[in-house]
Structure 1
Amino acid sequence: MTQTVAIDPAAPIWHDIADAMPILTCIIDDDGQLLWTNRCWQSEIGIETDGNLWTFFSGTTGDDARAAWKADVATGRPFALTLSLPAGPVDFAVRPAGAGRWIAIASREETQRQTETARAATRAELDVLTNAMPQMVWATRPDGHHDFYNAQWYRFTGVPEGSTDGEGWNGMFHPDDQDRAWSRWRHSLASGEDYEIEYRLRHHSGQYRWVLGRALPVTDGDGTIVRWIGTCTDIDSAKRAAEQNDILSRELSHRIKNIFAIISGLVRMSARQMPAVRGFADDLARRIAALGAAHDLARPHSDVSRPLIGEATLHHVLRELLSPYAVEQWVIEGDDVPIDDRGATPVALIFHELATNAAKYGALSIPEGRLSIRTARHDGVLGIDWHEVGGPPIDGAPQATGFGTRLAALSIEQQLAGHIARDWRREGLAVHIDVACEALVRDQAA
């Protein structure tokens, strides 16, 4: 006796269950009219419930198709049905659902075939996409096992297909880069962090070329990593160009420093022949030396040429200029900002001048004197306060404007479009300077 499956096509619970099934499912009446289709059917076939099965019958058309359906339905028992759907022939198991209705569900074998077909289509699309890219593309399992490389990888490396699966990829790196690359990759696998590193990869020519390796994790709905997708970008030309530029920059800087040294030597040599200008010549030579030190600190640097103190900033330049004086006598505090060769020259001139005067007449001229420099950034403007205390008392502003005052105005007001104000307090000189942060560097917003 055949058991009838009691199904109400309008029941919400039935809709929820069938819609969740990744299998083609529909409900049909005795005349072959589609009463209801699940989401999988609608997604893959796109047929609404006002259609019928006749156009999908395999091997029969018209009256023959209708007669075959009627004959199977008349038995009242389950039967098999093959429909010619857009994706190809699909086998269905059809069972009575009561009240002149039948439920048709695609067979497990057919569902598996469709899944494999969809997976193969997705893989084919991925292959076409990755092989069309100019970059090397690779993928791994969650544990880091490499199981996919695109055609660009094999063109670049020249290795046989599949030879770098698993851990074989590490042998493609320059021996000096293998441990570093492997360590960084293990860190990403353990932490889930993005993978990014530069290393030298063996080219099919036998030479090693610099590449940028990157990889991102692919996660499921729970955040679990299910794949890693990575790329390798050939940056060898850019890397070597950067190295050549660095060599040229260092050579140019060396020549500029030599020019500073030659000028200082010429000044001192001339002073020996003209004793009357010895003091002026010594001051000028010290200013030139300060410019040379500031230039070397603030010029563009690479990782090789960068000074040990780190990136060039205003505080670093100021510390360099004050380094000849007792460290317990001065302090630099506040907001620090980047500086390069554009801002370093005028900054070096003004603060070398202030420090020289402080050493001659002000707070740095006696052990008890103290100097503080405080910087504060606000709305793209950097305020710098120079404050001397504990030095010889000041009776008032000097009667005449000296060369240093004119030099400061030239440096700050004209070269950096800033402002400088002096306050000749009895306890020590106070100077306030305002300058736009963007004036201290090239092509950088404040």
Structure 2
Amino acid sequence: MAAETGGSEMLGQEAQFRALADHAPVMIWRADISMGCDFFNQPWLEFTGRRLDQELGQGWVEGVHPEDRDRCLRTFAEAFAARQAFSMDYRLRRHDGAWRWLLDRGRPFEVAGRFAGFIGSCVDYTDTRQALDDHRHALEERENLLSELHHRVKNNAQATTSFLSLQASRASDPAVAAALRGAAMRVMLATLVQDRMFRVPPDAGVELGPELETTARTALDVVGRLGVQLDLDIDADLALPVTQATALALIVNELVVNAARHAFPGGVAGTITLSLRRAGPGLGELVVADDGIGLSEAPRRNTPQGCLGLHLIPRLARQAHATLKLDGSQGVRATLRFACR
């Protein structure tokens, strides 16, 4: 009598499970300890357009895309042997013949404390997958276009540098020649900064300390001013977005070039100092200073002595979302403070 009662309870539970599964908003399957499937719910059968007896056992495999079949069965067998949950995707033929991508998740279950097989659910995520593929292809196309644009801009910048240098060599007025050489140098140094920044992944930050050190050293090397040394005091671990870091690097370019060209007349020796630190929570501080002759008065913009870079720096500071303090009483000291993480 007890056995009959237990059996009827089992049958009742099975009927309840099948009824619930048939009304679930996902496709549900179940496999017994032989790895053969002994149940598919109504949404699965409606999707495939096949009868339950056609799907039972290994019959469902007939609907899996030939290119995905081996991988699908191997994943299932390995999870079954290890009795571990799995997640995989594969293409399954829909009732209208269309191949649709399913995301299938399965996990082992027990009955009375003993392993009884696997149960799983599937969702059709073809449209989501297609959208992700389209997005990835769009990003790849964008990267290709940006790479091509960067290549052309770099070539144009190099051509501009060469043209300015050629014009400088032909200029009869020393002031004009100096201005042209200065412009060529600025274009070349700015191009080097942009080239490094282009190599930074879009979603990554720029490590500001190493970037500014490279920028300063390169600028000093390009100017070729003997007797001027660069001192570094970089104790901050700061990462900034590419746009903000680019503006700060261009500022360092201008300040180092101006100091090397104008702060130490007559070939006297001198020092340019670059320091970077955290000035407080969420606040970075960049200082570029020299121990040269300083600024006795505001330089005129349109002369070689006018230090065009000093007129460009406030604009670059705004692009970097930085405040700028410029002191020219004892050498030139530029202090920039900016928001950072």
TM-score normalised per structure 1: 0.48
* 2:315 equivalent in structure 1: 410
- Does residue 14 of structure 2 align to residue 119 of structure 1? yes
What letter is aligned with 1:408? I
- Does residue 187 of structure 2 align to residue 293 of structure 1? no
Structure 1 residue runs without a partner (length 5+): 1-105, 301-310, 438-446
* 2:284 equivalent in structure 1: 383
- State how 1:188-207 maps to structure 2 within 5 Å: 201-204=90-93
Matched position secondary structure for 1:285:
helix
Most deviating of 349-358 and 251-260? 349-358
Residues of 2 paired with 1:421 and 1:225: CA distance? 74
Q: For the structure 1 residues 385 and 418, does the alpha-carbon distance in structure 2 shift closer, same or farther, using more than 3 Å as the test?
A: closer
* 1:242 equivalent in structure 2: 135
* 1:433 equivalent in structure 2: 337
Residues of 1 paired with 2:190 and 2:241: CA distance? 19
Matched position secondary structure for 1:297:
coil
Q: For the structure 1 residues 361 and 270, does the alpha-carbon distance in structure 2 shift closer, same or farther, using more than 3 Å as the test?
A: same
Higher-Rg member (1/2): 1
Matched position secondary structure for 2:277:
strand
Q: CA deviation at 1:146?
A: 6.7
Judge conservation of contact 1:386–1:431 (CA < 8 Å) in 2: yes
Matched position secondary structure for 2:55:
coil
- Does residue 280 of structure 2 align to residue 353 of structure 1? no
Q: CA deviation at 1:261?
A: 1.9
What letter is aligned with 2:142? S
Residues of 2 paired with 1:177 and 1:319: CA distance? 50
- CA RMSD for the aligned pairs? 5.4
What letter is aligned with 2:324? I
Residues of 2 paired with 1:295 and 1:359: CA distance? 27
Q: For the structure 1 residues 195 and 110, does the alpha-carbon distance in structure 2 shift closer, same or farther, using more than 3 Å as the test?
A: closer
Deviations 1:136-175 (A, max 9, x none): 5556679998765556666777895136589x69x86856
Matched position secondary structure for 2:93:
coil
- State how 1:36-51 maps to structure 2 within 5 Å: none
* 2:324 equivalent in structure 1: 420
**Which one has the bigger helix percentage?**
2
- Specify which of 292, 299, 312 is matched with residue 204 of structure 2: 312
Judge conservation of contact 2:30–2:39 (CA < 8 Å) in 1: yes
Q: For the structure 1 residues 173 and 353, does the alpha-carbon distance in structure 2 shift closer, same or farther, using more than 3 Å as the test?
A: farther
* 1:260 equivalent in structure 2: 153
Residues of 2 paired with 1:280 and 1:240: CA distance? 45
> Matched residue pairs, number?
296
Q: For the structure 1 residues 369 and 409, does the alpha-carbon distance in structure 2 shift closer, same or farther, using more than 3 Å as the test?
A: closer
Structure 2 residue runs without a partner (length 5+): 170-176, 219-229, 264-268, 300-306
Give the number of the structure with larger relative contact order, counting CA–CA contacts within 8 Å between residues 6 or more apart.
2
Q: Percent identity?
A: 20
Q: For the structure 1 residues 416 and 268, does the alpha-carbon distance in structure 2 shift closer, same or farther, using more than 3 Å as the test?
A: closer
Judge conservation of contact 1:195–1:216 (CA < 8 Å) in 2: yes
Q: CA deviation at 1:196?
A: 5.6
Q: CA deviation at 1:403?
A: 3.3
